[in-house]
Amino acid sequence: MIESVLSLRGVVKSYDKKLAVDNVSFEVPKGSIFGLLGPNGAGKTSIIRIITGITRADTGEIFMDGVPLNNRHPELIGYMPEERGLYKKMKVGEHLLYLARLKGLSAKQAKERILHWMEKFEISNWWNKKVEELSKGMQQKIQFIATIIHAPPLLILDEPFSGLDPVNTNLIKDEIYQLKEQGTSIIFSTHRMEQVEEICEHIVLINGGQNVLEGRVNDIKEQFKEHYFKIDYTGTLAEGIGDHFNIIQSEDKSIMLKAIEGQSSSELLRSLLNYGLEINAFHEVLPTLNQIFIRQVKQ
């Protein structure tokens, strides 16, 4: 049985007459990178605010490491919101010290950790720069340091790569992987499906305040597969081959086809060989998370 760092059970939240979170339940496996997905207005931010203690659920239960969520738990969470929360007139070093102290670190601990991270990100000379002097990408690095400075066991990152160039995106991504290897549990909130597909192991898809899909990424892709296959071959396509398969796309020495209902991949491959084709490559094409996302949200 997979151990959960966070459990939501029947969580409901309304603002005035708007139902923002409607009976949401899901489990975040401990030590995983977990994707919290959904279109704008789906209820993701409301769920994050409840988890971090900014607001409270109207009904439902939330557990962190098996303990009902309480006022001490926010200290164990690092939250990086999509709307960055830096004071533009403050100097970078002072700002990070201030935020680290709010998280319970002593002045000595805070300075040691800040200098470590600034050196790691090669930004040691930014200590006396004002936040407003930094680009959006530079501010993103500062926000990331502020989020992880107290070494929380649970991180919530809302669109963490927004505003970053490819080099700095990979830098932050590498740090996320390292934190995960060290045992940190990470909730990754985004609508960028290609990023989710690359780094997340488990996901929950929220739409209209409800969770409409949850599970391991690989299992979900298997669940939604439509039996498409891509074949690279040598030879000539025999006349009539299209009578036995649904050919979706044909290029030079490569075809995409859909197996007929009930036909296994081995049967499909055997039939192709019977047509005298020399198969160079044969693999099933699974749907992307983006395709699954669009299909589920449209429904």
Give the residue extent of every domain in the chain. 4-222, 224-298
pLDDT at residue 295 tops 90: no
What pLDDT shows up at residue 238?
A: 63
**How long a stretch of residues is the chain?**
299
Alpha-carbon span 93 to 69, nearest angstrom: 32
- C-alpha distances (whole Å) from 236 to each of 242, 248, 255, 269 are 13, 17, 12, 16
Listed ranges 21-25, 42-46, 253-257; the one with the highest mean pLDDT: 21-25
Averaged pLDDT of the chain: 88
The 10s digit of each residue's pLDDT in 214-224 is: 999 999 998 99
Residue 154: count other Cβ atoms within 10 Å of its Cβ.
22
What pLDDT shows up at residue 241?
A: 61
Q: Taking residues 202-217, what's their average pLDDT? A: 91
| pTM for this prediction | 0.85
What pLDDT shows up at residue 270?
A: 77
Yes or no: domain 224-298 corresponds to CATH 3.40.190.10: no
Yes or no: domain 4-222 corresponds to CATH 3.30.70.3290: no
201 versus 137: which is more confidently predicted?
201
CA-based nearest residue to 224, from 168, 294, 167, 283:
294
